[in-house]
Amino acid sequence: MKPALRKVVFPVAGLGTRFLPATKVVPKELLPIVDRPLIQWAVDEAVAAGADTLVFVINRNKRAIADHFDVAYELEDTLVRREKHDLLRVAREVLPAGVETVYVVQQQALGLGHAVLCARPVVGNEDFGVILPDDFIFDRQTPALAQMAKVHAEHGGAVVAVEPVDPEWTSRYGIVGGQNLSADLVKVSEIVEKPAPADAPSNLGVVGRYVLPGRIFELLASTQPGAGGEIQLTDAIAALIAEQPVHGYRFSGRRFDCGNKLGFVEATVAMAMEDPATAQALRASLPAIIDGS
Ligand code: G1P
């Protein structure tokens, strides 16, 4: 049987200040990479991992995310009347049949750990996935969370996505330390949120994909504010290490940090190159655009 993660949590209550003024009204998760909003790429990845319940942790400024996944009756009706069947399918496939959405409000921005804890009433005591949509990961074969679901089915406990980061940038990530079990798997013995390079246990940075046991909620509930004064998911995972195996998984695929402009633009170019509608023409026009000629 294909390992499935039924519930996936999307913490999407962040401010998105790096993209102002674009994010003044539009949630950053709705900014498109080519023609799909970031959150749509994340949802597609969750569904590919077997998810049938998508839990969005939002705030009052993120209600447009719920609109995006809602049925757009007027649009669909118009497309039906105009016999635009392909577009109709695109509009409907935003949320595949049998997949449900749940919206949970994070009333105070107390950190990623707190955001995940807000999903507790929906997730309960099950194993679940977390996707941070800012970390956009593209793999032509198997989306990252599905890769991780497989690792989780084999090893249980928790699985966090990791990749080597520039040693000078450890203070931007959760960093894991531990024993290499294979080329793509680390048995994590230590995890630290945003350490200075001198304090980092390695240069393996946590990327925004997690498979976690329901137990994490109890640990989060007693996690005190950590780095940046926020309740950190990393600190609850650190507490979990004493109880259950925690693995770092070096996913295959390319990750783009869409929390900043450069990563966002790179992701856009990469996905436009994957799209037969734009690839050839873009390949021809990019050199001149880059040279400014
Ligand atoms: C969060 C996590 C951090 C992780 C990062 C990945 O940090 O706290 O451990 O490495 O996501 O993107 P943030 O980027 O929200 O500051």
Phi, psi of 252, rounded to the nearest 5 degrees:
-95, 145
Helices marked H in the chain — which ranges? 38-48, 63-69, 73-81, 85-92, 112-117, 120-123, 144-155, 215-221, 233-240, 261-274, 279-291
293 located within any domain: no
Determine the atom of ligand 1 nearest the C-alpha atom of 227: 8
Structural domains counted in the chain: 1
Q: Nearest Cα to 239, choosing from 253, 223, 258? A: 223
For residue 24, what are its two tokens? 């003044």
Residue 17 pLDDT more than 60? yes
Domain contains 181: yes
Tokens of 270: 């990469």
The answer to whether residue 291 sits within a structural domain is no
Regarding the beta carbon of 163 and ligand 1, being less than 6 Å apart is answered: no
> Could you tell me the pLDDT band of residue 2, with boundaries at 50, 70 and 90?
low
User: What percent of the chain is modeled with pLDDT above 70?
Assistant: 99
Cβ 235 under 6 angstroms from ligand 1: no
At position 225, the amino acid (one-letter code) is P
Using the mean position of ligand 1's atoms as its centre, give its distance from the Cα of residue 4 in Å.
24
How far is it, in rounded angstroms, from Cα 13 to Cα 106?
7
Q: What is the Å distance from ligand 1's center to 86 Cα? A: 37
Report yes or no on 28 lying in a domain: yes
Ligand 1 atom with minimal separation from the 134 CA: 12
Which CA distances in Å does 230 have to 21, 115, 262? Answer: 26, 10, 26
The phi-psi region of residue 248 (left if phi > 0; otherwise alpha if psi is between -120 and 50; otherwise beta) is beta
1 pLDDT higher than 70 = no
Domain that holds residue 258: 7-281
Determine, yes or no, domain membership for 276: yes
Give pLDDT tens digits for 107-143.
999 999 999 999 999 999 999 999 999 999 999 999 9
If DSSP codes are grouped into helix, strand and coil, which group holds residue 145?
A: helix
> Do the domain assignments include residue 292?
no
Q: What is the CATH number of the domain that holds 42?
A: 3.90.550.10
CA distance 196 to 89: 48
